[in-house]
Amino acid sequence: MLIKRVLTAVVLAPCAIAAIFYLSLQNFAWLLLALIGLGAWEWGPLMGIKSKGKRILFALSNVALLGLLFDFMPIDQLWTPEGAINPNAKLVLWLASSWWLLSAFLTFVYPKCSSFWSSHRSVRGIFGWLTLVPAGFALMIIRSVNYSTDPYHGAQLMMFLFGLVWSADIGAYFVGKSIGKHKLMPNVSPGKTLEGFFGGVLSACLLVVGVGLVLDWNASQFTQVLLVTMLITTISVLGDLNESMFKRQAGVKDSGSILPGHGGILDRIDSLTSTAPVFALCYIFIGW
């Protein structure tokens, strides 16, 4: 399994980096629509949907909602030339962050409260919309930062986010496998440990320290970015646990099998669904 995970990552990582840096905003938007559609297709079984037709309809509803956001707030106008965010776009980010607060509560108290949302397919569908659509929109917001003056600034920000999530995931995996003993949230995900969680946070912080040394950051910059790093890596675990909770309730092991060793698209973007909106808000209020 580890060999499959590594080989898949070796193929996917360069493709993701190339897409982030070299696709135009419009083509990047099309890619996001496709990824959100695939993620929504995999969300179908988490809702208890077995019919392919209904799964397709749910996937299309997510694509349509994200497309409407792109149409209502054109992707080349999300930021003003002065660097201010469209107020409506900021509102979407706050909505997404509010959903993750609710999600955190549902995850921490699971299996309490699960009888309500698990018995109502429509509620799980709304949860899917709130998880996937704002995440795709947040990634577009990050990619389009200062695009008119520096087409690669947003790409660098997105790679920073990906680097945090990837390093935390890798650190958590190896630390958890090697010394993990204390369960993090056994009711939700029995395989995750406290040692793995802290190993993931430490791994991301070490990455940031390395970047800061190369870029010659001052003490204030180190403090600011390390605080953001700890926040983002903690929230990335919430995204992972959130999907684990829905899969556990639905009796599903993996969201899909399209990625050898990794499962489905949802299994790869679950951390991004939670971190992208919060990371975008951090940039809006703090900057880099």
Q: Tokens standing for 214?
A: 């190369």
pLDDT digits (tens, 9 = 90+) for 120-138: 888 999 999 999 999 999 9
* Rounded Cα gap, residues 77 and 81, in angstroms: 9
Q: Which residue has the tokens 């990582």?
A: 13
The whole-model pTM stands at 0.92
Q: 7-29: per-residue pLDDT in tens?
A: 777 778 888 899 999 999 999 99
Structure tokens at 269: 């973007």
Helix 265-286 × helix 153-179 angle, to 10° = 120
The alpha-helical segments, DSSP class H, found in 180-262 are 194-215, 219-250
The chain-wide mean pLDDT, for the chain, equals 91
Instruction: Using a pLDDT cut of 90, give the percent of the chain over it.
Output: 70
The DSSP string of 21-33 is HHS-HHHHHHHHH
Maximum pairwise Cα distance, the chain: 56
Q: 86-113, pLDDT tens digit by residue?
A: 999 999 999 999 999 999 999 999 988 8
CB 96 within 8 A of CB 284: no
State pLDDT tens for residues 32-85.
Answer: 999 999 999 999 999 988 899 999 999 999 999 999 999 999 999 999 888 899
In this prediction, residue 3 has a pLDDT band, given cuts at 50, 70 and 90, of confident
- pLDDT of residue 153 exceeding 90, the answer is yes
Q: What is the DSSP annotation of 6-51?
A: HHHHHHHHHHHHHHHHHS-HHHHHHHHHHHHHHHHHHHGGGGT---
- Cβ-based neighbour number of residue 170 at 10 Å: 16
Evaluate if residue 259 carries a pLDDT over 70: no
Q: Is 185 left (phi over 0), alpha (psi -120 to 50) or beta?
A: beta
